[in-house]
Amino acid sequence: MHPGCHIDNVYLCREPVDFRKSIGGLSALVEQQLQMSPFDDALFVFVNRQRDKIKALYWHRNGFCLWYKRLEKERFAWPALQASQQTCTLSMRELEWLLEGFDLWRNRPHQTLHYQNTV
């Protein structure tokens, strides 16, 4: 992504996307299908049906930026489709892990513990 670009949220589009779409088609998909604003301080991430390509769309000051990654081997882990949610929200750190090949939905971190007392 562009250095100095401020991203508040990362949204994964759960459904695979036709990768012939570029900035115009993806920004229209964000507005019409996901019911979100492509002009927010957000990164919208899309995957193809084979899950070996990712496109990320974001608005930076005065225009859209489109980032693309193609894997030569293997596939990206992706959340399962659920009828109730069209997107999945990630942190930038989780996106980095996803791009490195980690399956965020299979591998769980240690359980968070909430104690009231030390005794």
At 29-47, the pLDDT tens digits run 999 999 999 999 999 999 9
Beta partners for 70? Answer: 53
User: Cβ atoms within 10 A of the Cβ of 12, count?
Assistant: 23
Whole-angstrom Cα distance, residue 105 to residue 63? 33
Of the candidates 23, 46, 22, the residue with the CA atom closest to the CA atom of residue 34: 46
* Per-residue pLDDT, 24: 97
pLDDT band at 1 (very low <50, low <70, confident <90, very high): low
Tell me the Cα Rg of the chain.
Answer: 16
Single pTM value for the model? 0.82
For 75-117, write each residue's pLDDT tens digit: 998 887 666 788 989 989 889 888 888 887 776 666 777 888 8
Q: 7 near 41, Cβ under 8 Å?
A: yes
Contact indicator for 67, 56 with CB cutoff of 8 Å: yes
- CA-closest candidate to residue 52, choices 80, 72, 79: 72
